[in-house]
């Protein structure tokens, strides 16, 4: 399986704190994406980082990518209760074209 591993599995923080989640994957990639899922709902795309990029920002989100370590991190700054959700990284393995694999996910709870 090319599924990535995420840690922590679960994270609970106070509103206003920063949340960091990590993703490790197994094979070479073209890009890595982060998605968010509210309980029992569809996934929402957050940010895409390409294999030749090291860092990317979008609002309160900061993503880093280290292809030598096959790892990525997602930082959410100044968290809000509305950020409570599951967060998944997803990778496409280079050369496979169509196949898109999700990591195991981090469940984030932001306490008001």
What is the binding site for another protein (CB under 8 A)?
3, 30-31, 33, 35, 40-45, 48, 88, 90, 92, 96-105, 107
Contacts of 94 (CB under 8 A, 6+ apart): 27, 28, 29, 30, 51
Kindly tell me which of 4 and 19 has the beta carbon lying closer to another protein.
4
Contact 65, 48 (CB under 8 A): no
Kindly tell me which of 44 and 78 has the beta carbon lying closer to another protein.
44
Chain-centroid distance, C-alpha 30: 15
Q: From the CB of 31, what's the least distance to another protein, in Å?
A: 6
Residue showing tokens 């990317």: 56
Q: From the CB of 95, what's the least distance to another protein, in Å?
A: 9
Kindly tell me which of 33 and 84 has the beta carbon lying closer to another protein.
33
């Amino acid at each position: 399986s090319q599924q990535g591993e995420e840690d922590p599995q679960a994270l609970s923080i106070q509103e206003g704190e920063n949340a960091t989640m990590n993703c490790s994957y197994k094979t070479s990639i073209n890009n890595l994406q982060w998605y968010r899922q509210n309980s029992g709902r569809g996934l929402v795309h957050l940010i895409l980082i390409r294999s030749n990029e090291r860092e990317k920002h979008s609002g309160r989100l900061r993503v880093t990518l280290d292809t030598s370590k096959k790892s990525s991190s997602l930082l959410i700054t100044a968290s809000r209760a509305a950020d409570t959700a599951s967060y998944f990284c997803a990778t496409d393995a280079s050369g496979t074209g169509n196949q898109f694999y999700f990591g195991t996910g981090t469940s984030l709870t932001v306490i008001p």
